[in-house]
């Protein structure tokens, strides 16, 4: 797909969902690589998980901003607050928007559906409306591998039908893609959606399996392994995700007119995943090795005594498997960091982080 180059230097970039996991790491990357401009971070710092972790990431951002040529502004609030979003666009006029703010989590959506409607639908609508009335060079937004639901065909391609979500979270992410496509068509807004595949790494989300399993093991608890361990996951290390987002930001879908004189939607959709699904039991074994290597657990720790094989949870799927060939073709990048290196980095970070707690 033909792209229009977007130079980030000197621009104002709005990153919603920073200091969330992906958002914080993206802002750190922008502070390091941009030579001029302003980054506006927006997040409501909710308590879906321990806000101390978001505060920790925000502290890293503020420290990096001290030596960066780029100005950083943090705004505390929700994308579901239309007046706030409009006010940010009025004041800062962002040229590039990366919408990472969302209510995450498949299982949480079963008991708390209202949070997903507010953030993922109403909030994203507010972002689209703001981009409509304050033209931007590129809107990049987070979708999810969860949109593939129980698809049997692997690897998952963005050309596959995704009409059967198995969770409300997945349904909201599919809705985001449809909403963005309609705004791209109606208002000629260059939009790119990114389907992330099981993101992990240092300072990640505590509700993700690798993180919650680590905390349970360190507390002497038992980890529950769903579908009796018969799951395959395309785990994607955070640095690979950020590299993909950073490249995509700089290449917007080209604006063109159709034969009818109306815009051909400047819209694109990509998977960002390693393309190498790992068996969940193998992943856990590598995590255990990393925890022992980092000195978090003793070498003689009885892992078998601290794990339980259980049935599949509602909303879960047995396999995720990304076809990221389009990302490689259009942006020259494919995720490459394996779980052995990624989990080692996580364990080393966790050991240091707990010293500060």
Name the pairing type of β-strands 199-200 and 236-237: parallel
Catalytic residue flag (residue 56) = no
Q: Look up residue 355 and give its two tokens.
A: 């010293």
Which helix H or strand E contains 312, and what residues bound it? none
Residues 238, 22 contacting (CB under 8 angstroms) = yes
Residues 225, 172 contacting (CB under 8 angstroms) = no
Query: Which of 341, 104, 354 minimizes the C-alpha distance to 237?
Result: 341
Residues 167, 146 contacting (CB under 8 angstroms) = yes
Given 49, 169, 210, 283, which residue is catalytic?
A: 169
What letter does residue 119 receive in the DSSP assignment?
I
Distance between CA atoms of residues 221 and 357, nearest Å: 20
Which helix H or strand E contains 191, and what residues bound it? strand 191-196
Annotated catalytic sites, by residue? 169
């Amino acid at each position: 797909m033909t792209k229009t180059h977007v130079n980030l230097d000197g621009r104002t970039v709005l990153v919603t969902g920073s200091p969330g996991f992906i958002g914080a790491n993206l802002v750190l990357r922008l502070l390091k690589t941009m030579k001029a401009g302003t980054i506006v971070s927006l997040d409501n710092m909710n308590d879906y998980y321990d806000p101390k972790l978001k505060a920790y990431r925000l502290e890293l951002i503020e420290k990096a901003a001290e030596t960066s040529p780029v100005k950083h502004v943090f705004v505390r609030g929700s994308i579901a607050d239309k007046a706030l979003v409009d006010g940010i666009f009025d004041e800062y006029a962002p040229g590039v928007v990366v919408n990472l703010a969302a209510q995450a989590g498949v299982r949480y959506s079963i008991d708390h559906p209202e949070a997903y409607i507010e953030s993922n639908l109403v909030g994203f609508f507010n972002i689209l409306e703001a981009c409509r009335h304050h033209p931007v060079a590129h809107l990049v937004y987070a979708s999810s591998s969860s949109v593939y639901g129980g698809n049997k065909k692997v690897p998952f391609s963005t050309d596959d039908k995704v009409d059967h979500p198995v969770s409300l979270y997945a349904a909201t992410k599919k809705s985001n893609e449809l909403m963005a496509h309609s705004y791209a068509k109606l208002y000629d807004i260059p939009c790119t959606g990114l389907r992330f595949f099981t993101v992990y790494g240092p300072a990640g989300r505590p509700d993700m399996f690798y993180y919650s399993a680590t905390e349970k093991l360190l507390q002497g608890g038992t980890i529950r392994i769903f579908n009796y361990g018969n799951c395959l996951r395309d785990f994607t290390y955070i640095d690979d995700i950020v590299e993909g987002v950073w490249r995509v930001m700089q290449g917007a879908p080209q604006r063109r007119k159709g034969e009818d004189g109306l815009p051909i939607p400047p819209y694109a959709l990509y998977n960002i995943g390693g393309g190498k699904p790992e068996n969940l039991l193998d992943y856990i074994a590598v995590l255990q090795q990393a925890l022992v290597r980092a000195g978090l657990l003793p070498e003689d720790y009885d892992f078998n005594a601290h794990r339980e094989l259980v049935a599949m949870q509602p909303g879960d799927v047995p396999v995720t498997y990304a076809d990221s060939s389009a990302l490689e073709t259009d942006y020259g990048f494919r995720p490459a960091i394996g779980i052995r290196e990624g989990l080692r980095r996580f364990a080393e970070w966790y050991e240091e982080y707990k010293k500060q707690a």
